Chain A
């Protein structure tokens, strides 16, 4: 089952990022995972939050371009080589990964990551078959 990622378009200029994070904090939203892809012109903020609907409406209300993107969350054992093994499974299944980023480490011995692929169901099936736990 895919999890919902909050995706926001942020202009690459001073003060824009802090504006977005402040809106989230004002709405009492906690970030569990965060990644920012940036170019000279703009950035795309991607995050997994505890209260998705609140986060979405808090940003939309201020006119920020934001959407929900279904992504795959996978739970890895925190040891060298595990991410590589998971990505290898997807590669073998012919599934292309657009981007990947990690959750904050909260449970010792566990590393959760977010995977963005074209076909979530196929990725989840491949990972489950290889013994990975899907979030």
Chain B
């Protein structure tokens, strides 16, 4: 099938031309921040850098980093780079940990954002003939507004459903013949189950594609959603910075608007392409809320090999975890998301707790997993055989062997939102 693009010229731009464009935009963006954001100007002064030192993207490494803590500390106006009267919108994070982070948008910024979402929709096959059902939350969260605006730009019929009310989602989906579904992967899985419960088969709906993001998910979940809805499922990270094409070999970063770097999370040193490290984004043409070298805390790999879809923009692998979450156990890097993948593969619910401790100078590594009612057997040998099988599967994935403990269902604490899955007791002894 012919590949389609929302902005062909930019999406398939020759690498040299793209670099030149990025360098020019970076110089302007740094100047804009220097002149308008005293907080970051002070950081630059402290680092001994001035706008003149940034002649192109090769000088990016000279700029100081920003972290989520900076955004929280400067709440609500400290990072704003234009007069408030120029802003037309705010969006905000969930604010689960302490203060919220607010991002401001001028009309230019909203357009840029919606263009990025339109690229994602077109890459997933959306046209003006399509019916796009947006069941990301509307409101402060970026999901609903972003894909809503993107869908308008593509010219698709947009169903502004927001999240929840599954009964109504299904009614609209079937009656209005939705062809593209946008929501979180967990909600997509839930819609799939709900359709099956009502006796619908995957071929009964008109959906062809889904754009799912805003929370971590695994390839296993992707396959499950694709089978239950009869669609191709596309990953999206951050909703503005990246999107996935039909090749599905990583997500293209919108490099005309964002520069991506991979750094060593401990030293801050920039790592060569192909190496695993923390993803850092620099906006290139944001007016209201430009962020230079923002540390995402997500660990991933960049891939600059050419993509068969014809897009020249770099691809990022699905994040393997958060640098905050990464554990080093017996010298091996372990991400909770790897454990989750194994659990789903082996037929367990992704409810688990990891406990790490240090006993006699060596790390202990315990994984507690809930037994599902249908897995329970009445013999000790049956339960220990399951523990052994899960231990083997985890060792294969992680390279080290945990001690697996099967525990009764619902005995692992659930928390709203982000679960506390890791208990590292080693710090107490340091």
Which residues of A does B touch, CB under 8 Å? Answer: 5, 7, 9-11, 37, 39, 41-42, 44, 46, 63-65, 67, 69, 98-99, 116
What are the residues of chain A within 8 A of B411 when measuring CB–CB?
Answer: 11
Choose among B378, B384, B406, B407 the residue that contacts A7 (Cβ–Cβ < 8 A).
Answer: B378
Q: Kindly state the separation between the CA atoms of A39 and B379 in the bound complex, as whole angstroms.
A: 11
Near A by CB (< 8 A), chain B positions 336-382 give 371, 373, 376, 378-380
Q: Pick from B376, B405, B410: contact of A9, CB below 8 A.
A: B376
A37 to B378, CA, bound (A): 9
A63–B407 Cα gap in the complex (Å)? Answer: 12
- Could you show 20 A-B contacts with beta carbons less than 8 Å apart? A7-B376, A7-B378, A9-B371, A9-B376, A9-B408, A10-B408, A11-B408, A39-B380, A39-B384, A41-B406, A44-B380, A44-B383, A64-B408, A65-B376, A65-B409, A67-B373, A67-B376, A69-B378, A98-B379, A116-B378
Q: Which of chain B's residues have a CB closer than 8 A to the CB of A10?
A: 408
Q: Is the CB of B373 within 8 A of A42?
A: no
Residues of the A chain whose Cβ atoms lie less than 8 Å from the Cβ of B407: 11, 42
Residues of B within 8 A of A9 (CB): 371, 376, 383, 408
A10 and chain B: residue at smallest CB distance? B408
Task: Give the distance in Å from the alpha carbon of A44 to the alpha carbon of B378 in the complex.
Answer: 7
Interface residues of A, dominant DSSP: strand
- Is B379 in contact with A44, judged by CB distance below 8 angstroms? yes
Task: Enumerate the 9 nearest inter-chain pairs by beta-carbon distance, A residue then B residue, closest first.
Answer: A7-B378, A69-B378, A65-B408, A37-B380, A63-B410, A65-B376, A98-B379, A9-B408, A41-B405
Contact A5 B378 (CB under 8 A): yes
Q: How far is the CA of A116 from the CA of B378 in the complex (A)?
A: 10
The CA of A70 and the CA of B43, in the complex, are separated in Å by: 72
Contacts of B383 in A (CB 8 A): 9, 42, 44
**Cβ–Cβ contact B371 & A65, under 8 A:** yes
A37 to B380, CA, bound (A): 7
B379: chain A residues within 8 A (beta carbon): 37, 44, 98-99, 116
A63/B409 in contact, CB under 8 A: yes
In the complex, what residue of chain B is closest to A40 when comparing beta carbons?
B405
Chain A, residue nearest B403 (CB): A41
A7, A10, A39, A42 interface centre (most CB from chain B within 10 Å): A42
* Distance in Å: Cβ of B380 to nearest Cβ of chain A: 5
Instruction: Tell me the smallest distance from the CB of B64 to a CB of chain A, in Å.
Output: 50
Which of B378, B406, B409, B410 makes the CB contact (< 8 A) with A42? B406
